[in-house]
């Protein structure tokens, strides 16, 4: 469905061939929370061929201010279902694969293997290391985002010979030193109708 995404065709060096490649690609988003929400929406809107979403949590009312993919009607229901429905509403031609469970060592390689690129949108340090290790083992590029309080970062790991997460951070810090969004908070975008 290239015609639907014709604005991409105006970008230099993208064109029809770039759109075709995008429509044939598969991307896995790990986490359908504050970071995974906009990532999944934009990937669906831009015409990625297959979008996998992994999350084992349910939608909570107190997260809706920053987890923009979810609606109040989905409170108490799986985030994966909510996110997949929102992506299909934006682009009915997209294939969305719902992985309604937590990514764990027992299932990570099996899931990651199915995708071309992996997006880490988690706030859990052991999971970050596991995802990076899977991408190295399977030779997949990893796009990793992080946000805490008023700060954020975006990094691409293990792409065309670039270092992996473990290359930059060989030893995980002590658990007591790690902060999660649920403990420290993240500033969401304000909406004032």
Cα(48)–Cα(166) distance, integer angstroms = 28
Q: Which domains does the chain have, with CATH numbers?
A: 16-184 (3.40.50.720)
Q: What is the pLDDT of residue 2?
A: 46
Which whole number is the average pLDDT over 126-133? 95
Cα(116)–Cα(85) distance, integer angstroms = 22
Q: What is the mean pLDDT of the chain?
A: 86
DSSP character at residue 66: T
pLDDT tens digits along 19-66: 889 899 999 999 999 999 999 999 999 889 999 999 999 999 998 888
Residues 4 and 44 sit within 8 Å (Cβ to Cβ): no
Cα(16)–Cα(53) distance, integer angstroms = 27
Cα(84)–Cα(179) distance, integer angstroms = 28
DSSP character at residue 124: -
First-to-last C-alpha distance (Å) of the chain: 34
pLDDT tens digits along 56-79: 999 999 988 889 999 999 999 999
Instruction: Identify the residue with better confidence: 142 or 145.
Output: 142
Task: Measure CA 35 to chain center.
Answer: 7
Q: Is 185 left (phi over 0), alpha (psi -120 to 50) or beta?
A: left
pLDDT at 99 exceeding the cut of 60: yes
Q: What is the pTM of this model?
A: 0.85
Q: What is the pLDDT of residue 82?
A: 97
The residues near 50 (Cβ < 8 Å, ≥ 6 apart) are 25, 26, 27, 94, 95, 96, 97, 115
pLDDT at 189 exceeding the cut of 60: no
């Amino acid at each position: 469905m290239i015609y639907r995404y014709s604005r991409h065709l105006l970008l230099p060096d993208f064109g029809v061939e770039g759109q075709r490649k995008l429509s044939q690609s598969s991307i896995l988003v790990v986490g359908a929370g504050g970071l995974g929400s906009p990532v999944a929406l934009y990937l669906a809107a831009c015409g990625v061929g297959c979008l996998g979403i992994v999350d084992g949590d349910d939608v909570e009312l107190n997260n809706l201010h920053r987890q923009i993919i979810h609606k109040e009607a989905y409170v108490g229901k799986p985030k994966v279902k909510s996110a997949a429905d929102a992506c299909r509403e934006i682009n009915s031609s997209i294939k969305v694969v719902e992985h309604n469970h937590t990514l764990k060592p027992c299932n990570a390689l099996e899931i990651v293997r199915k995708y071309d690129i992996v997006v880490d949108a988690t706030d859990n340090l052991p999971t970050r290391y596991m995802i990076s290790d899977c991408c190295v083992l399977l030779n997949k590029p990893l796009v990793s985002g992080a946000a805490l309080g008023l700060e954020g970062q975006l990094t691409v790991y293990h792409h065309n010979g670039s270092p992996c997460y473990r290359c930059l951070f060989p030893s995980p810090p002590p658990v007591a030193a790690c902060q999660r969004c649920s403990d420290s908070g993240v500033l969401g975008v304000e909406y004032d109708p």
